Amino acid sequence: MKRSAAAHLEFDVAGAAEIVLSVAVAGSPTRETLLATLDGTPFALREVLDAHGTRLHVADCPPGQVVVDYTVEQGGPLPPAEVAEIDTLRYVRPSRYCESDTLGPTARSQFSGLAGRALLEAVSSWVGQQLAYVPGSSAPTDGAVQTLLSRRGVCRDFAHLVVTLLRALDVPARLVSVYAPGLYPMDFHAVAEAYFDGEWHVIDATALAPRQSLMRIATGRDASDTAFLSTSGGFVSLVGMEITAVVDELPTDDVRDLVRLG
């Protein structure tokens, strides 16, 4: 399977700011380019490695217009995600957007008696049925509790609720940002990963793109670890963004299958 993706970002920096980009795919892609310019002049980004192969690109920017262009190609199968004991401990804990302690009673009531693969399937189906996918319907600060109350959201809200319910039932689960060939409308995408039978498996309750063709960008507790752009100091305003992701042959995804993300 040959996959490719691209990201074009434009933002205005008012006052000196540190920018942190999470747009590069994890690991070692077959081929990639990353170019950043400030008012038309190229400037350097330094790469910082986070957990699970996440590659952050950081720069100290003076005021001006920043443009970032990233392209990547990946060919062939990817190795499955590594499993470390600390991950199975970390990802059963509540986090900023995944309030599994608050939703514990809901999870235990709704999924009583289920375990293993049957539980993963039930949680994915239930979230997909309970929530409506509505672009622009959620705020950046909304967590799983607010998502469940409003019964609508975008991909990260679906993923947060899946992660939260699974953690409430003592299943390690985490959030992954990805490029998603076949996704419509095209954008950065977020899915959940659940630990089962010694491996991490992808759960996408939106069912908007085949899981087999996803390209991992960042992995973490929730969206606070996987945002494509974070800043400190100054004021940064996103003014333009275009994402593309394609695959040579779009696979067929059966939601009942277990799928691993490289």
Per-residue pLDDT tens digits for 117-142: 999 999 999 999 999 999 999 999 99
CATH class of 85-226: alpha beta
Q: For a pLDDT cut of 90, what percent of the chain falls above it?
A: 92
pTM of the entire structure? 0.96
- Give the burial class of 129: count Cβ atoms within 10 A of its Cβ; 0-12 exposed, 13-18 middle, 19 or more buried: exposed
Strand ranges in 39-104 using DSSP code E only, listed in sequence order:
41-42, 46-49, 55-61, 64-75
- Give the burial class of 221: count Cβ atoms within 10 A of its Cβ; 0-12 exposed, 13-18 middle, 19 or more buried: buried
Q: Which two tokens stand for residue 33?
A: 């380019």
Domain map (residue ranges) of the chain: 2-76+230-244, 85-226
The listed CATH number (2.60.40.10, 2.60.40.2250, 3.40.50.2300, 3.20.20.70) that belongs to domain 2-76+230-244: 2.60.40.2250
pLDDT in tens, 146-185: 999 999 999 999 999 999 999 999 999 999 999 999 999 9
Look at residue 211 and tell me whether its pLDDT is greater than 80: yes
Nearest to 208, CA basis, from 227, 182, 226, 234: 182
Instruction: Give residue 256's pLDDT.
Output: 85
